Amino acid sequence: MYCKYCGAVLDDDAKFCESCGAQVLPVKNTDPDNSFSQTSDPIKTSQSSGNQNQALSTREHKNNNKSKPFIIGLFFLLAAAALVFAVRNSGDKDSDSIPDIMAQNNYNNGGIFAYDEAHLYLLAPKDGEDQTVYYLFSTDYDGNNKKLLSSTEHIDSIRVIGDKILFNIFDNDQELYSLGIINNDGTEEKTILTAEKEISSFDKCGDSILYLTDGELHSCSLEGKEDQVLLSGVKRFLNAGSLIYYTSEEGTFSYDRKTKKSDRLFDTEAEELCSDGDTLYYRTENAYYRMNPNGEKVKLVEDRLLHYMLVIKDYIYFVRMFNADDLANHLGSDWMEKKNSLYMVGIGALVRLPKEGGDLEIIGTKDDENIILGTTAFAYPGGLYTRLSLLLKNLEPVETLPPEIKNW
């Protein structure tokens, strides 16, 4: 059941909305597109598609007290305010928000880059200081007005959700593993929790934090309280609203947070999981796949050198790593003897293919000077960045953008 005023997911017997406080009238989601069923594997799950506006406008409120027009006017004013609040905070809903597939890709690609409506956020060294120590910065979309948001060292990865930045600290030398949160203007930084072992992945889901440590997927409040273990034996996970996708030694699964039921999607362990709410994209062994809403698995491309997926509109982008011959061709036969050659290990060319499948295409012209190079790739609305080194986190903007990126 949903709250018709703010769209929050409610228990079936709820009398009042825990999110906005309004008295609840049952509004059930009957959108046939919200089903996620598996036909080739024994899976029966359901997922809300994230159409919050539909839930908000499903029924019109009826006020029987027609003798008090000012009360009616006040009601519609409050309803309008609730609608604005729901739209602005749609990213905080457990199952009514459409997952941000580019943000998922950016996190999969190293978690050193994120964005919101106005700014880019990145982990980078301070100018003129130790180039192996990274701090949290923000810039505008042109890469200007760089601002230090946090002087905390050893931040390993970041996620931007609403007006908050979630980050984890990984200092293996000091055995320091913690999860923190900070406003996107750099204020009110605080530690949510500490862990005995590395926090390998984390996300925010509604009013809860999901984090993975030592093979256990935990859920806790934003203050680090009410900590509980949801799943064990987990290697990686993806928060996709009402469902959590995760992998273990037994394969790849979906987990319904409400029913607390897991369903096996397939027997192999997937990597680079990302989802737009209906379709799941992933990598297994040397191939990339998508799983359609009906459970059909489609192989998109097989290439052992492809890594770091980015799903953008109608295309999927990758970095195709160079082999030894490619490196010699682009960097010279003596590239291993060069002073900075160590920092170039793993470099490759940015390539793409249509989301529906097709041939790989190199981005940029095919001469040595203009191919877009990188070891990882990151996207934001309006552009791309690549990182040329796996050891240094320096980012370079991609100038030669395909039309669908320039105009998205």
Report which residue type is found at 209: I
Q: Are 230 and 321 within one domain?
A: no
pLDDT category of residue 199 using cuts at 50, 70 and 90? very high
For the cut 80, the answer to whether the pLDDT of residue 75 exceeds it is no
- What's the pLDDT tens digit per position in 13-41? 665 555 555 555 433 333 333 322 233 33
Q: What's the confidence (pLDDT) of residue 38? A: 31
- What's the pLDDT tens digit per position in 212-266? 999 999 999 999 999 999 999 999 999 987 889 999 999 999 999 889 999 999 9
- What's the pLDDT tens digit per position in 144-171? 899 999 999 889 999 998 899 999 998 8
Q: Are 105 and 220 within one domain?
A: yes
Q: What's the confidence (pLDDT) of residue 381? A: 87
What's the rounded mean pLDDT across residues 91-118?
80
For the cut 50, the answer to whether the pLDDT of residue 120 exceeds it is yes
- What's the pLDDT tens digit per position in 291-308? 998 889 999 999 999 999
Report the relative pairing of strands 155-161 and 216-221 from DSSP bridges.
Answer: unpaired
Structure token digits, residue 135: 């701090």
- Domain assignment present for 157: yes
Strand boundaries in 175-270, DSSP class E: 176-183, 190-195, 199-205, 208-213, 216-221, 228-232, 236-240, 243-248, 251-256, 261-266
Range of the structural domain that residue 176 is part of:
99-234
Q: How far apart are CA 192 and CA 360, in angstroms?
A: 43
Instruction: Answer with the one of 217, 234, 251 that is the final residue of a domain.
Output: 234
Q: Are 230 and 320 within one domain?
A: no
Instruction: Answer with the one of 216, 234, 252 that is the final residue of a domain.
Output: 234
Q: What's the confidence (pLDDT) of residue 368? A: 52
For the cut 60, the answer to whether the pLDDT of residue 184 exceeds it is yes
pLDDT category of residue 365 using cuts at 50, 70 and 90? low
Q: How far apart are CA 290 and CA 287, in angstroms?
A: 10
- Domain assignment present for 173: yes
For the cut 60, the answer to whether the pLDDT of residue 89 exceeds it is no
For the cut 50, the answer to whether the pLDDT of residue 83 exceeds it is no
Q: Are 216 and 320 within one domain?
A: no
Report which residue type is found at 358: G
121's CB contacts (< 8 A; 6+ apart) are 113, 114, 115, 136, 137, 138, 149, 158, 160, 165, 184
Nearest to 380, CA basis, from 171, 191, 29, 105: 105
Q: What's the confidence (pLDDT) of residue 70? A: 37
Q: Structural domain tally of the chain?
A: 2
Q: What is the mean pLDDT of the chain?
A: 77
Structure token digits, residue 200: 């390998």
Q: What's the confidence (pLDDT) of residue 36? A: 26
pLDDT category of residue 403 using cuts at 50, 70 and 90? low
Are the C-beta atoms of 153 and 160 separated by less than 8 Å? no
- Domain assignment present for 111: yes
- Domain assignment present for 200: yes
Q: What's the confidence (pLDDT) of residue 223? A: 92
CATH of the domain at 224: 2.120.10.30
Helix (H, G, I), strand (E, B) or coil at 77: helix
- Domain assignment present for 210: yes
- Rank 35-44, 304-313, 363-372, 393-402 by mean pLDDT and report only the highest: 304-313
> What share of the chain has pLDDT > 70, as a percent?
71
Q: What's the confidence (pLDDT) of residue 272? A: 95
- Domain assignment present for 205: yes
For the cut 60, the answer to whether the pLDDT of residue 351 exceeds it is yes
Instruction: Answer with the one of 170, 202, 234 that is the final residue of a domain.
Output: 234
Q: What's the confidence (pLDDT) of residue 84? A: 34
Q: What's the confidence (pLDDT) of residue 395? A: 86
- Domain assignment present for 73: no
Q: What's the confidence (pLDDT) of residue 7? A: 47
- Domain assignment present for 15: no
- What's the pLDDT tens digit per position in 332-350? 777 777 655 656 667 888 9
